[in-house]
Amino acid sequence: MVSGYLSRKTNEWGLNILNGVHNHAIEPALEGHILAGRLKEDDKKIVRDLTKSKMLPRNILINLKNKRPHCMTNIKQVYNERQQIWKANRGDKKPL
């Protein structure tokens, strides 16, 4: 168990480890882990370019996995990136 605190003297955060034993086995693969599946900058550029050319999200994901076989990205990250692209393109305009 981990306990966090804010030091009044230094105004910095600190952590106390109360029990150093982990409560589950370590996963052999990071499948589905949010950090392992995160899109890298070059992947985001690929998603942006393929979205502009009207490619479907599932085909974008296939393209990413073909370029990087060890890629752990899933379809949710592709949809989220497309949403960010649309939001950036839309700017201050609100959808009707």
Task: Quote the mean pLDDT of the chain.
Answer: 85
pLDDT for position 64: 93
pLDDT for position 58: 95
Do the beta carbons of residue 63 and residue 50 sit within 8 Å? yes
Using 50, 70 and 90 to split pLDDT, how confident is the model at 96?
low
| Residue spans per domain, the chain | 31-90
Instruction: Report the DSSP beta bridge partners of residue 15.
Output: 4
Verdict on whether the full-model pTM lies above 0.75: no
Residue 12 DSSP one-character state: -
What secondary structure, in 3-state letters, does 15-50 show?
EEECCCCCCCCCCCCCCCCCCCCCCCHHHHHHHHHH
Q: Give 11-38 pLDDT, tens digit per residue.
A: 899 888 877 777 777 777 666 666 667 8
